[in-house]
């Protein structure tokens, strides 16, 4: 393969070699089932115990508040469904936002079919949840508030601390989907009043198919997968020992170098963003310019289709992602871009680039140059652009 420039780290990240290294013994050497009684399996059990400690301490939690899952989607499903069931006697109203990941939105729709009521909060033009709307939405029968820590498309970081405080003040459970934020921004569950939190290993250079749900001690929440007694009887199934060991390694590394890593990403990100904004007319940035994940860029290029841009970028060896949905078989653009008020035609011309510390300035220069060339080319084919230019050149 020719040189590839990977700018889709919000989709998934490269597993660090140290992570793979940490996983290997649990496939071939210490493959015992952690639940078995013989001494041989104590190595696997020990790995899970240690991993739980490492992970718990990264968010200021206790080990027995960490429940391993098969990733972010499972943690989101579990948090919402099990909490809804456990607190149904108090009420059946849930508050979330319009820009959540589908793992939350589709679970909410499922709960609506089961007789729950869900309020989907609006966000402002930067994708920030409106706190006054949140306060107004709270009812005596509200049992759960679920708002993401940071958005996967536009990178906006939500006012989680304020949301947590509001939830606490009203005695309502607060869940946050921190899949995009964990390992990229510091998170302490007590400081933010978080009662439940979902994460996923493959978004912070860990393995795929492993995540955890943090559940604060005292929160009444039922088991989600029924069967054996694993995860304190709340999530049955033989533990994914290599995945868990790898996840803990990824967390350890991510916490150790978070500051330098994200500073480097931010610098490269701002360089690319400014360059493209300067060189490509009719371009805007979607999402907050200040409260934003350090590695996220989301451009909207007027008069073009994000999909065509992506395909052309791919031909140049650049991996990105678009806010458009035609790939998922729908003609609607992303629900996130519509929620921040972008008109359809602009939302269609969006491009998400998410960096890693492995990217270089040369890659940013190459990417900016390709974007400039391709956008110019695509606009040359666009009747809308031609129309606009004709009207405005008179
Ligand atoms: C905000 C958010 N929540 C949940 C998920 C789902 O995580 P997983 O792929 O581990 O199921 C993702 C992944 O894209 C995400 O970005
Ligand atoms: S054509 Fe792809 S989403 Fe619009």
Same domain, yes or no: 237 and 374: no
Please say which residue of 228, 254, 280 terminates a domain.
254
pLDDT for the residue numbered 382: 87
pLDDT, tens digit (0-9, with 9 covering 90-100), for 157-206: 999 999 999 999 999 999 999 999 999 999 999 999 999 999 999 999 99
pLDDT, tens digit (0-9, with 9 covering 90-100), for 256-303: 999 999 999 999 999 999 999 999 999 999 999 999 999 999 999 999
Please say which residue of 239, 254, 269 terminates a domain.
254
Q: CB of 184 within 8 A of CB of 57?
A: no
Closest listed residue to residue 258, CA positions, set 7, 59, 3 = 59
- E-strand stretches of the chain: 5-6, 66-69, 93-97, 117-121, 142-146, 173-177, 196-200, 211-215, 283-285, 296-301, 318-319, 321-322, 350-354
pLDDT for the residue numbered 7: 98
| Average pLDDT of the chain to the nearest whole number | 95
pLDDT of 329 above 80: no
326 Cβ inside 6 Å of ligand 2: yes
pLDDT for the residue numbered 186: 97
Same domain, yes or no: 244 and 278: no
Placement of tokens 């679970």 in the chain:
107
Q: CB of 277 within 8 A of CB of 371?
A: no
243 annotated to a ligand binding site? no
Please tell me the pTM assigned to this model.
0.96
Which residues on adjacent β-strands are paired with residue 177? Answer: 198
Q: Which residue has the higher pLDDT, 119 or 328?
A: 119
Within 10 Å of residue 290's Cβ, how many Cβ atoms? Answer: 7
% of the chain beyond a pLDDT of 70: 97
Q: What 3-state class would DSSP assign to 256?
A: helix
Please state, in angstroms and as integers, the Cα–Cα distance from residue 196 to each residue in 82, 92, 189, 272, 326, following that order. Answer: 11, 18, 9, 36, 33
Q: How far is the CA of 392 from the centre of ligand 2 (A)?
A: 26
pLDDT of 328 above 60: no
By most ligand atoms within 8 Å of CB, the mutation choice from 324, 346, 352, 384 for ligand 2 is 324
Which residue puts its alpha carbon closest to atom 16 of ligand 1?
152
pLDDT for the residue numbered 222: 86
CA 79 to chain centre: 16
pLDDT for the residue numbered 179: 98
Same domain, yes or no: 246 and 273: no
Same domain, yes or no: 213 and 299: no
Placement of tokens 């409260």 in the chain:
291
pLDDT for the residue numbered 322: 86
Pairing type for strands 117-121 and 142-146 reads: unpaired
Same domain, yes or no: 93 and 217: yes
323 Cβ inside 6 Å of ligand 2: no
Which residue puts its alpha carbon closest to atom 4 of ligand 2?
348
Within 10 Å of residue 22's Cβ, how many Cβ atoms? Answer: 23
Please say which residue of 254, 274, 292 terminates a domain.
254
Domain of 108, CATH number, reads 3.40.640.10
- Residue by residue, DSSP assigns 111-180 as HHHTT-EEEEE-B-TTSPBPHHHHHHH--TTEEEEE--SB-TTT-BBP-HHHHHHHHHHTT-EEEEE-TT
What number does the ligand 2 atom closest to the CA of 307 have? Answer: 2
Any idea what the Cα angle at residue 253 is, between residues 249 and 257, rounded to 5°?
175
Domain of 349, CATH number, reads 3.90.1150.10
pLDDT of 351 above 90: yes
- The ipTM, to two decimals, is 0.91
Residues with CB under 6 A from ligand 1: 71-73, 76, 101, 103, 148, 152, 177, 179-180, 200, 211
pLDDT of 357 above 60: yes
pLDDT of 105 above 90: yes
Same domain, yes or no: 40 and 181: yes
Average pLDDT of span 336-340: 94
Nearest-ligand number for the alpha carbon of 308 = 2
Same domain, yes or no: 250 and 263: no
Same domain, yes or no: 241 and 264: no
pLDDT of 140 above 90: yes
Same domain, yes or no: 272 and 250: no
Q: What 3-state class would DSSP assign to 265?
A: helix
pLDDT of 324 above 80: no
Same domain, yes or no: 228 and 340: no
Pairing type for strands 93-97 and 66-69 reads: unpaired
Token readout for 82 is: 């099990």
Same domain, yes or no: 54 and 33: yes
- What range defines the domain where residue 239 resides? 17-254
pLDDT, tens digit (0-9, with 9 covering 90-100), for 203-254: 999 999 999 999 999 999 889 999 999 998 899 999 999 999 999 999 999 9
Q: What is the band of 331 on the pLDDT scale with cuts at 50, 70, 90?
A: low
350 Cβ inside 6 Å of ligand 2: no
Q: Which residue has the higher pLDDT, 346 or 7?
A: 7
Domain count, the chain: 2
49 annotated to a ligand binding site? no
Placement of tokens 């868990």 in the chain:
244
Q: What is the band of 325 on the pLDDT scale with cuts at 50, 70, 90?
A: low
Same domain, yes or no: 282 and 295: yes
Q: Which residue has the higher pLDDT, 392 or 51?
A: 51
């Amino acid at each position: 393969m020719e040189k590839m420039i990977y700018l889709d780290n919000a989709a998934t990240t490269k597993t660090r070699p140290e992570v793979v290294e940490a996983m290997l013994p649990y496939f071939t050497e210490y493959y015992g089932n952690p639940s078995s009684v013989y001494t041989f399996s104590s190595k696997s059990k020990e790995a899970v115990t240690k991993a739980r400690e490492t992970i718990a301490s990264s968010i200021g939690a206790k080990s027995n508040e960490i429940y391993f899952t098969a990733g972010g989607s499972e943690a989101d499903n579990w948090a919402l469904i099990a909490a809804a069931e456990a607190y149904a006697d108090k009420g059946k109203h849930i508050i979330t936002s319009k820009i959540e990941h589908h793992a939350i939105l589709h679970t909410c729709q499922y709960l609506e079919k089961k007789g729950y009521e869900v309020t989907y909060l609006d966000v402002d033009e930067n994708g920030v949840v409106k706190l006054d709307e949140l306060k107004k939405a709270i009812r005596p029968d509200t049992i759960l508030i679920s708002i993401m820590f940071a958005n996967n498309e536009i990178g906006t970081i939500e006012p989680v601390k304020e949301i947590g405080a509001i939830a606490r003040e009203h005695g309502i459970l607060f869940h946050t989907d921190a899949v995009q934020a964990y390992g990229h921004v510091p998170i302490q569950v007590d400081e933010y009043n978080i009662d439940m939190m979902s994460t996923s290993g493959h978004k912070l250079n860990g393995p795929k198919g492993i995540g955890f749900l943090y559940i604060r001690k005292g929160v009444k929440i039922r088991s989600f997968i029924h069967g054996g007694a694993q995860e304190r009887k709340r999530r049955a199934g033989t533990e994914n020992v290599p995945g868990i060991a790898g996840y803990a390694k990824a967390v350890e590394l991510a916490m150790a170098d978070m500051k330098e890593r994200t500073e480097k990403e931010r610098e490269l990100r701002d360089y690319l963003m400014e360059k493209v904004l300067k060189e490509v007319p009719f371009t805007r940035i979607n999402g907050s310019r200040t409260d934003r994940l350090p590695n996220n860029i989301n451009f909207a290029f007027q008069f073009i289709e994000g999909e065509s841009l992506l395909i052309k970028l791919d031909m140049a060896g650049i991996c990105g992602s678009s806010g458009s949905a035609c790939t998922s078989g729908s003609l609607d653009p992303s629900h996130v871009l519509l929620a921040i008020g972008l008109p359809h035609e602009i939302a269609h011309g969006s491009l998400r680039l998410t960096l890693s510390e492995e990217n270089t300035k040369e890659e940013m220069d190459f990417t900016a140059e390709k974007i400039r060339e391709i956008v110019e080319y695509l606009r040359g084919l666009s009747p809308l652009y031609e129309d606009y230019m004709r009207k405005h050149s008179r």
